[in-house]
């Protein structure tokens, strides 16, 4: 379950703010905290990557079972 990590750059000021914040929030590194924040942000958009054909099949099953 290895992560393929990539590096991104942020300003020193922002980094220090995050550093201060993780002490209150019990995150053990700024990296983890930023990853958490980004995941939270992405899930608001909630876009899923199903192929349309499969999604259509699922909708049909859900309709048949009375869920839709």
Partner 1 sequence: MARPHGGQLVDQVLSNNQLNRIKEEIKELKPIPIDYETFIELENIAIGTFSPLEGYMIQQEVDSVLDTGRLTNDLAWTIPITFAVDKEQANLLEKGNQFALSYQGEVVALLDLEDKFIPDKKHWVKAVFNTTDEKHPGVKRIYKRKEVLLGGTINLLKRPKVPFPENRLTPKETRVLFKVKGWKTIVGFQTRNAPHIGHEYVQKAALTFVDGIFINPVIGKKKPGDFKDEVILESYNALINHYYLRERSVLVTLLTEMRYAGPKEAIFHSIMRKNYGCTHFIIGRDHAGVGNYYPPFAAQDIFDDYPDIGIVPLFFRSFSHCTKCGSVVNEKICPHSSEHHINFSGTKIRKMLIEGKHPPKELMRPEVADIILQYENPFVE
Residues binding partner 1 (CB under 8 A): 1-3, 25-27, 32-33, 36, 39-40, 42-44, 46, 48, 50, 55, 58-59, 61-62, 65-68
Token reading at 46: 């909630």
CB 25 within 8 A of CB 33: yes
Smallest distance from partner 1 to CB 16, Å: 20
- Of the pair 11, 53, the CB lying nearest partner 1 is at 53
Comparing CA positions, the residue from 32, 45, 42 lying closest to residue 3 is 32
Token reading at 35: 């990853």
Smallest distance from partner 1 to CB 6, Å: 13
């Amino acid at each position: 379950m290895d992560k393929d990590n990539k590096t991104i750059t942020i300003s020193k000021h922002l980094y220090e703010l995050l550093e201060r914040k993780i002490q209150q929030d019990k995150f053990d590194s700024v990296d983890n905290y930023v990853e958490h924040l980004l995941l939270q942000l992405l899930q608001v958009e909630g876009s899923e990557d199903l192929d349309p054909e499969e999604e259509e099949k699922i909708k049909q099953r859900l309709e048949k079972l009375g869920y839709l």
